[in-house]
Structure 1
């Protein structure tokens, strides 16, 4: 049945989903028009919201570009390539490859979302080198594991409200991760998704006549030629000693961060880890630089599109449009249905404000008073926002850009499969938030 459903979904998306750059331009126009029509903002005010907020994600844009680049360089190092090859060897057919890449991506994304995006995409490429499998579904399966990130160890919303001094502390206090990430209802949702998402992907596997395969030779990297050193500069470029004199202290810093200071994972730490592991495992600066030149090709979409999303976020937040949208949906809720409507509203807002922390700042002023008035558990409402934010990432190409850059595909190639996942996982998450 899912195979039959996925076929028209894939064709629909391939035909009508534009390039992510066109998608972000359309979202910009829609957000601006809605702010003028619904919030009665003047065109000049909306223009100022947009222009003033356009560069607000510069730091995040660079972090995301580094997620792609450092993750690629790490996976392209000889030891990691050998490890991925061995792990891919556990899959002996197309169905097993789909399930394996989904499980790896789910596990990695639950640990850290940036880690999951890169590991899933790179593992998909390695599987495609060894197994004849529909490449679109393989990469879509790698991306689908991203859905669990906000219920995992790096979830922005639960970590924010667990931090002393957060903006809503006077209203709700500090809520520990035992009530959010490690609560029974959240772990139940995660467990159901770990079972359902791989099975759904497996059941969408097309017949051979409908499958799209990729020539494994196109995924192979060029063999590194042995360099004949003729100049002193070339000796430095090919010096393992120089690389390790910098790389090993970087890893020692991380050891101090995790062990002695009890630090946790965040995007900067993940990028630091990827970079310095890559420096050490590539052994020479020349090997690392050759990998960098290959990695940077996939980063163009991040560079040009993320500023537009920053502008959209500014329009949504400063015009009051995000608050109005959330409030309209919450007005339909009762004590029993508030988690559901919170989840739905968060999913819609996420299409325009694809940032977990930013979305909580927008929706908390609406959701928290509603939870208090209806007597609903605040941690459950907070996680409903978190899951709504993660859920519609299956439709929003913003987060898929690093995966697509690594895999060499376009959004329209994978989003048809993701649309089926969106519909089915939405039922699972909504049920978990309402009844678990």
Structure 2
């Protein structure tokens, strides 16, 4: 365990470039694969790339707001005190890693966007509480919560195929969540990861490099600084009408309550629909209320937006990669190759592996299902495999290789102040370990 962890950590630190360069390298790889293994020529691949380049604008904005609104909420005094109190449950590096892993897993089980933010923010607070812990492993543990998201309440595939009118309804019908999320194999995978992954991540500490250094300014306790910064805004009488508006607690409270009323209405009318938009909405308006004045809120926003730069620049490149994968038929070829040697019994496990491969290039749960879903479900119907398990195999494959795909790590890294090479070596170990319970669940249940 120690030797493997140290090996992958050193390998990644030495050879893995910045996440932006990783996206560029993937772009060239997919371009060449498309030219040599599909009917698309060099210019056609460029066209596929350019046509898809802006397809993730809306999603990129959502993920940028995940970082910004999470940062805003986390920097309110109330949330800081709560996270600090929760982090006091950990007193040793091992306890710190286990606690962060479990909290991240539980949060991602509820909602992946919520889990990404909560896991990263909580890891930073735990690092302040236990300064002897390897900060890189702590953030990798927070990111490992993403392993579980597609088997939880925000999983796009199981929720989609349970919704009337989904694009494969004529082929496979409606599959209730009782056959996917609450099936024995899915419950086994989720519960096994909840129990074993915190223990596994704790053992990653044995392979940590004792000479590695991280910017410890992230760990400083700035509660006193924030308190001093905010106090004059309360005690000093604003001089102009504009300043009085900027420091109006009534204004923040009014618009904040209006937002929370809508949140209540949303849940009453739609049930527990905790999608990414409503998560951002809740974080935003809670941040407005808890910062108490528009001026303090806007000051925090100015700091928060600095963390979203990587997402804004890199997501279009991943959209271009997805455009080449889908339009050239490359993703379809990968899927069909795995189907070609599958049986009724092995189709789910090979679907899982193929989904993991495709996810490296198409890192979007809904987007990947649109690409692979029709192929895999048709194969399942033809050979008599379980369609519900096959669909969940695509979902778990998508979640599995997120551990080595920077796409979803960008919000976590932005909050933590790290680069992808700082955590990827440990994420490779997590990828290898998580294959075991997922494969057992798909094969034996």
* Alignment CA distance shift 1:18-1:213 (3 Å): closer
The whole-number CA distance in structure 1 between the counterparts of 2:343 and 2:195 is: 30
* Alignment CA distance shift 1:46-1:216 (3 Å): closer
Q: Could you tell me how far 1:265 is from its partner in structure 2?
A: 1.1
Alignment deviations for residues 41-95 of structure 1 (CA, whole Å, 9 cap, x no partner): 1122111111111101000000000001001111111111110010001111111
Which residue number in structure 2 is paired with residue 169 of structure 1?
Answer: 169
Q: Could you tell me how far 1:230 is from its partner in structure 2?
A: 2.3
Alignment of 1:125-144 (within 5 A): 125-132=124-131, 133-144=133-144
Which residue number in structure 1 is paired with residue 146 of structure 2?
Answer: 146
Partner SS state of residue 398, structure 1? helix
- Mapped contact 1:19–1:410 kept (Cα < 8 A): yes
Decide which of 286, 294, 297 is 1:285's aligned counterpart. 294
Aligned pair 1:96/2:105, yes or no? no
Decide which of 325, 349, 356 is 1:347's aligned counterpart. 356
Q: Could you tell me how far 1:231 is from its partner in structure 2?
A: 2.2
The whole-number CA distance in structure 1 between the counterparts of 2:210 and 2:269 is: 56
Which residue number in structure 2 is paired with residue 7 of structure 1?
Answer: 6
Which residue number in structure 1 is paired with residue 39 of structure 2?
Answer: 40
The count of aligned residue pairs is 435
The whole-number CA distance in structure 1 between the counterparts of 2:218 and 2:159 is: 43
The whole-number CA distance in structure 2 between the counterparts of 1:191 and 1:146 is: 14
The whole-number CA distance in structure 1 between the counterparts of 2:437 and 2:6 is: 22
Alignment of 1:182-201 (within 5 A): 182-201=182-201
The whole-number CA distance in structure 1 between the counterparts of 2:50 and 2:218 is: 45
The whole-number CA distance in structure 2 between the counterparts of 1:263 and 1:123 is: 24
The whole-number CA distance in structure 1 between the counterparts of 2:54 and 2:218 is: 40
* Alignment CA distance shift 1:103-1:263 (3 Å): closer
Decide which of 386, 410, 416 is 1:401's aligned counterpart. 410
* Alignment CA distance shift 1:163-1:217 (3 Å): closer
Which residue number in structure 2 is paired with residue 376 of structure 1?
Answer: 385
Aligned pair 1:387/2:396, yes or no? yes
Partner SS state of residue 153, structure 2? coil
The whole-number CA distance in structure 1 between the counterparts of 2:3 and 2:26 is: 31
Alignment of 1:252-331 (within 5 A): 252-262=261-271, 264-331=273-340
The whole-number CA distance in structure 1 between the counterparts of 2:159 and 2:270 is: 18
* Alignment CA distance shift 1:219-1:325 (3 Å): farther
Which residue number in structure 1 is paired with residue 21 of structure 2?
Answer: 22
The whole-number CA distance in structure 1 between the counterparts of 2:136 and 2:256 is: 36
Alignment of 1:229-268 (within 5 A): 229-262=238-271, 264-268=273-277
The whole-number CA distance in structure 2 between the counterparts of 1:195 and 1:95 is: 15
The whole-number CA distance in structure 1 between the counterparts of 2:53 and 2:220 is: 36
In terms of mean alpha carbon deviation, does 424-433 or 243-252 score higher? 424-433
Partner SS state of residue 267, structure 2? helix
Which residue number in structure 1 is paired with residue 342 of structure 2?
Answer: 333
TM-score, with structure 1 as normaliser: 0.97
Alignment deviations for residues 376-416 of structure 1 (CA, whole Å, 9 cap, x no partner): 11010000000000000000001000000000000000011
- Mapped contact 1:135–1:214 kept (Cα < 8 A): no
Which residue number in structure 2 is paired with residue 119 of structure 1?
Answer: 118
* Alignment CA distance shift 1:397-1:214 (3 Å): same
Partner SS state of residue 205, structure 2? coil
Q: Could you tell me how far 1:213 is from its partner in structure 2?
A: 5.3
Q: Could you tell me how far 1:262 is from its partner in structure 2?
A: 2.5
In terms of mean alpha carbon deviation, does 199-208 or 42-51 score higher? 199-208
- Mapped contact 1:128–1:214 kept (Cα < 8 A): no
The whole-number CA distance in structure 2 between the counterparts of 1:65 and 1:117 is: 12
RMSD: 1.4
- Mapped contact 2:147–2:403 kept (Cα < 8 A): yes
TM-score, with structure 2 as normaliser: 0.95
- Mapped contact 1:145–1:197 kept (Cα < 8 A): no
What stretches of structure 1 of length at least 5 have no aligned partner? none
Which residue number in structure 1 is paired with residue 441 of structure 2?
Answer: 432
- Mapped contact 1:125–1:219 kept (Cα < 8 A): no
Alignment deviations for residues 95-134 of structure 1 (CA, whole Å, 9 cap, x no partner): 1110000000000001100000000000011011111210
Which residue number in structure 2 is paired with residue 209 of structure 1?
Answer: 210
The whole-number CA distance in structure 2 between the counterparts of 1:189 and 1:95 is: 24
What stretches of structure 2 of length at least 5 have no aligned partner? none
